[in-house]
Chains A and B, each alone.
Chain A
Amino acid sequence: AQSVTQLGSHVSVSEGALVLLRCNYSSSVPPYLFWYVQYPNQGLQLLLKYTTGATLVKGINGFEAEFKKSETSFHLTKPSAHMSDAAEYFCAVSESGTYKYIFGTGTRLKVLA
């Protein structure tokens, strides 16, 4: 069965510092992987996705993620945090053969002035 683990339910960074949000997955088949961001009282917005091809994926708002098969990881990074990045971030994997996503438990990012 596929699963997603997000390490760290809360992450705090200073404004201008590197953002690193961790996501590990388990899958017996090549996965499709996603990062979503959710601002308070809003829906989920797609940040970026990995399906096939290039393992370094660039998304919106300066975020990127690298698919590392050997480490079963898909960590999200941003070189310089901005106050507006404060939100909940969800990693998800598309469950093969179904219409379902498996979500991680989420990481709340706090950006300190």
Chain B
Amino acid sequence: DVKVTQSSRYLVKRTGEKVFLECVQDMDHENMFWYRQDPGLGLRLIYFSYDVKMKEKGDIPEGYSVSREKKERFSLILESASTNQTSMYLCASSLFAGKSNQPQHFGDGTRLSIL
């Protein structure tokens, strides 16, 4: 079974701090994704990566950056945390298959609170 592991289930940080959220997958997947999930808004894509050192912006990249130095690890960085970044953050991965269809697999999420 695919395992996507997010380093923290709960995290509390202060405004202005630099925050790192880590995600590791064990199935050699090319694609990795970061989403945030907010009540009434559903899941929104922040960034995704289709290869090591490759990334593309999603719908809401402002205030975030990402790093993918190794295939199995995808990090989300909040450069200067703000209260409106309080949310549930979900990491996902999928196998690259061109335009064909591979399911996304999700981690358990990190509930981040910015005070």
- Determine if chain A interacts with chain B: no
Interface of A toward B, CB cutoff 8 Å: none
Interface of B toward A, CB cutoff 8 Å: none
